Structure 1
C-alpha cells in the first residue's frame, strides 16, 4: 500500500467513527418522523443543552448518545430551580 492509500484509509475510518458518534438532521427527522426543519430545531436545543454543560458542539449534528438519552430516556433531566 502506498502512503497516500494508507492516509485515505485512515481518513475513511475517522469519518465512519464520527458518523457513528454524531446524528444529523436527516436521520433525526427519519427516526422521529418529523420534518428536517424541525429536526434542526431539536438539534439546536440539544446542542444548547450540551453547550451549557461545557461541551463543544457541531452545528447541524448532535452527539448520538446524548440524542438517544434525551429522546428515549424514561427519566427526563432534572430542571433547575425556578424553571417550569
Structure 2
C-alpha cells in the first residue's frame, strides 16, 4: 500500500482517538475499536509507521495493540505452558 494510505490510516486513528478522548479509558477504547474493526493489514501498516504523526492516545493504543500481538507457540516444542520458561 502507498504512503498516502498510511497517512490516511494515521488520520483515521487520530479521529478515533479524538472521539474517544472523554471515555473513562480512552487508550483501551481506541485499541478495542481498532482491533475490532480494522483488518490486520491496516493495523500492520499503522504499526510500521512513525508514531510522531499520531495523537498521544492513538500512539498509546497502538503500543497496546503491538504488545498483544505476540505470536502463539507454533508447536508443543515452543510452548512455555508445556516446557516451562527459563525467563526469571
Structure 1-normalised TM-score? 0.31
- Structure with higher helix content: 2
Q: Which has the higher strand share?
A: 1
TM-score, with structure 2 as normaliser? 0.30
Q: Which has the higher contact order (CA 8 A, sep 6+)?
A: 2
